[in-house]
Structure 1
């Protein structure tokens, strides 16, 4: 991979980190903002700080190797297929990153929470098809389908149970609004920290794959960890206000207890599935599903089903949308070379 292409891919990795923070990380505090447990400026500052902390913790505890990065991104077969033409791998990475960024900006514009991971994996699948490696799409499909099915279902169920428990305790008057608001602040902080730990891996892995393709040692990319973590935090601080409104206000009329139930379920699902199936879990999917589960605990009429349908449709379209964009870009590059 040439130096110019390496610089471009690393720049796109930083852009992915920033847009991911802008698009996803503010979701962690959307419920706290909607229920007025925290002021918006305070909530976003807290989310940005905890995202930075979570990202730095992940970079410290992860064994950052090229093999790890390729496996995480589903690019092991692609790296092998382009071993004799590293510039082709660079073009594929550029196409995947651009398709992911385009989808993230588009879904933000329409206020739809979607998964950066699933957008990226869709782009990877499209690149594989363009390179004539359709058989490699099976593993990518598993990385998307399993978390998409398990994450929301578990989050809805846990949030529903948590909300029912909070409603039962509330009737005894032992749990006051102040207690719930404090607990919601803590749970929002936990979601933000977990998001930082989970999502900093994607841009870091992209940078590491590019560096390895350029013939550099993995250690040479370690200095990029801090700028990438800062980019996630900076994006969070800007706040994806359109998506915050969707999760916090448009899906249901959220109460502090519902926010606590949704955030608590999201934390448990993200931590449990990440450890159990070793696949990235979408913060957007789990938190939005938790909001639905908490609303269902109060009754189906409390859910705005037209908004929920739009969100679920966005989730289903995400890998196909980015896959088609990536497929088209890689085909164009191949035809021009």
Structure 2
């Protein structure tokens, strides 16, 4: 991979890390902001710090190698096809990241939470097809199934937790002050979990690119620190459009509902991250949990048209980015070398 292409890939990976923080990480504190458990500036600052710490902790616990990066990104077949042609692999990575970023900008603009992981995997499928690699259709099917099953599990968990909180409140064992404090803790846990999970994606891209280029910086703290800072910086700015959707447009949140939603999101993220060792979307988990907490108060408390649009966005994510990734990869391959 030429030095120029390597710089482009690394810069795009850091931009993707920044926008991931801007798009997704602030979702962790959207419920705490809406229920006034935390001031907006305080909540975003807390989320930024915890994303930074979570990202660094998560990356330091990893065994960072090229094989790890390929496995995580699902690019084994693309790497095999482009063996001996690192610039073609670079074009594929650039196309995938541009497709991912384009989709995230679109979903932010319309205020819909979406998964960076699913967008990336969809873009990888499309770019692989354009380059001539065998498409991982089984991976796309797994993503689509996860887009349905994962949110359903989060809805059920949030419903159960909310019912438990209502029972404790009726018995006067839980006051508003206790709930607000617990919600602050759960919001911090979601932010930390997001850092643990999502910082791996841009780091893996950088590791893969540097390995193909014959460099070994993937094992150093430089790349890890840069990714963690980028995610935290994006979080600090906060994707306010999506905060409004999760915190206000889906349902009228109370502090108890916010706590139930965040607790459900933490549980589902922990199971996926540490139990199944699979990528997990904090956006899907938290938004679905907000719906579950709303259903616990009564189905009429949920604004179903907004929820339906959100689910359709999730299902469309890998398909739309696959088409865009294929188009961008084809365009980049047509460009003259250099």
Is the TM-score greater than 0.5?
A: yes
1:277, CA displacement in angstroms? 2.6
Distance 1:16 1:221, change over 3 A: farther
1:78, CA displacement in angstroms? 0.7
2:92 aligned residue: 92
1:84, CA displacement in angstroms? 1.5
2:187 aligned residue: 188
Deviates more, 1:15-24 or 1:125-134: 125-134
Task: Give the alignment of 1:190-205 within 5 angstroms.
Answer: 190-205=189-204
1:332, CA displacement in angstroms? 2.0
Work out whether residues 107 and 113 of structure 1, in 8 Å CA contact, stay in contact via their aligned partners in 2.
yes
Work out whether residues 35 and 255 of structure 2, in 8 Å CA contact, stay in contact via their aligned partners in 1.
yes
1:3 aligned residue: 3
1:335, CA displacement in angstroms? 3.5
Whether 2:37 is the aligned partner of 1:50: answer no
1:213, CA displacement in angstroms? 1.3
Give the structure-2-normalised TM-score.
0.97
C-alpha distance in structure 2 between counterparts of 1:141 and 1:80, whole Å = 22
1:212 aligned residue: 211
C-alpha distance in structure 2 between counterparts of 1:22 and 1:336, whole Å = 32
1:219, CA displacement in angstroms? 4.4
1:147, CA displacement in angstroms? 3.0
C-alpha distance in structure 2 between counterparts of 1:243 and 1:107, whole Å = 9
Give the structure-1-normalised TM-score.
0.97
Work out whether residues 74 and 140 of structure 1, in 8 Å CA contact, stay in contact via their aligned partners in 2.
no
Task: Give the alignment of 1:4-23 within 5 angstroms.
Answer: 4-23=4-23
1:218, CA displacement in angstroms? 5.2
Deviates more, 1:21-30 or 1:315-324: 315-324
Structural RMSD (CA): 1.2
Number of aligned residue pairs = 336
C-alpha distance in structure 1 between counterparts of 2:67 and 2:134, whole Å = 21
1:326 aligned residue: 325
1:306 aligned residue: 305
1:9, CA displacement in angstroms? 0.2
Task: Give the alignment of 1:264-279 within 5 angstroms.
Answer: 264-279=263-278
C-alpha distance in structure 2 between counterparts of 1:220 and 1:275, whole Å = 22
Other structure's SS at 1:187 match: helix
2:241 aligned residue: 242
C-alpha distance in structure 1 between counterparts of 2:148 and 2:5, whole Å = 36
Runs of 4 or more consecutive aligned structure 1 residues displaced over 3 Å after TM superposition: 218-222
Other structure's SS at 1:84 match: coil
CA deviation map 1:182-209 (0-9, x unaligned): 0000000000000000000000000011
